Amino acid sequence: MSDPAPPPVLLGVSLKMYFGHHETLNWARRVAALADRHPAVTSGAARLFVLPAFPTLVPAAGILTPYGIGLGAQDIATEDTGPYTGEVGGPVLREIGCRYAEVGHAERRRMYGEGDTVVAAKTAAALRNRLTPVLCVGERDRGTPGEAAERTVAEAERLLRGLEGTVVLAYEPQWAIGAPEPASAEHITTVCGALRAWLDDQPQHTGSSVIYGGSAGPGLLTRLAGAADGLFLGRFAHDPANIEAVLDELHVPAPTAVA
């Protein structure tokens, strides 16, 4: 019997607040066309998800989801409905086609004062609304891979305590976000390996993945050699040619020869 196909490599993109409205939709059309023709996507070797800004979610859903690209929000309210001016709740996100909600990004922690209590509540809100949380974890300052692994596993444990459901753990060392280069392959391998080992002992989070973000771009998947379940791309996905280059790195099964 042949081995079962490995799970797809997960490639997420957060557009943060970089693009205008039409710019986002034009970019989304190019990414949809890429997904439609690239063998890594059409063969199921890779799965894409995109997190655009809130106002573009509805039109982006129409462009991306027909091509199997998952849609998600960059944030989610802790509450589902009610007097929470400016917030967007999980039920609405789910209703408009989101399947993911990002929580705990370092920028929200640093600039908007979100701490562990809020991040854990947002993670719970996502799970409650059948959205997969893209839960960002990672150390603030550069240190040894071993220290980073210990700290990051403890963070994931703390944020997910008492929760149940499939999550995407996005390992983003804060010092590598917006940097010229990602963390080293050794660093990423150590931390993602520790997160993976921890998750493997958590049956309540079965089906979860560990992806790496922080100046990720072409070449990194190859250097990681399977140490992460995928990448969380930022700036380097602004040019769809870079997404294509990342997809090109994935092994695509050769088509069966016709006798």
Ligand X SMILES: O=C[C@H](O)COP(=O)(O)O
State the residues that interact with ligand X by CB under 6 A: 14, 172, 177-178, 213-216, 232-236
Q: Least distance from C-beta 83 to ligand X, angstroms?
A: 30
DSSP secondary structure code for residue 162 in this structure: T
Report the 10 Å Cβ neighbour count for 235.
Answer: 16
Q: Do 225 and 3 form a contact (C-beta atoms < 8 A)?
A: no
Cβ-closest residue to ligand X? 234
Nearer to ligand X, 13 or 92 (CB): 13
Which are the contacts of 149, defined by CB distance < 8 A and separation ≥ 6?
Answer: 190, 191, 193, 194, 195
Distance in angstroms (rounded) separating the CA atoms of residues 80 and 126: 10
Active-site choice (105, 155, 187, 205): 105
189: tokens are 């391998």
Task: Verify whether residue 114 is a known catalytic residue.
Answer: no
Q: What backbone torsions phi and psi does residue 227 show, to the nearest 5 degrees?
A: -70, -20
Q: Least distance from C-beta 146 to ligand X, angstroms?
A: 23
Q: Least distance from C-beta 257 to ligand X, angstroms?
A: 40
Q: Least distance from C-beta 137 to ligand X, angstroms?
A: 12
Active-site choice (114, 172, 187, 205): 172
* Max CA separation in the chain (angstroms): 66
Nearer to ligand X, 89 or 213 (CB): 213
Task: Verify whether residue 105 is a known catalytic residue.
Answer: yes
Distance in angstroms (rounded) separating the CA atoms of residues 138 and 141: 9
Nearer to ligand X, 128 or 235 (CB): 235
Nearer to ligand X, 50 or 77 (CB): 50
Q: Do 223 and 206 form a contact (C-beta atoms < 8 A)?
A: no
Helices (H), 161-225: 185-200, 220-224
Nearer to ligand X, 23 or 36 (CB): 23
Q: Least distance from C-beta 4 to ligand X, angstroms?
A: 31
Which residues are catalytically annotated?
A: 105, 172
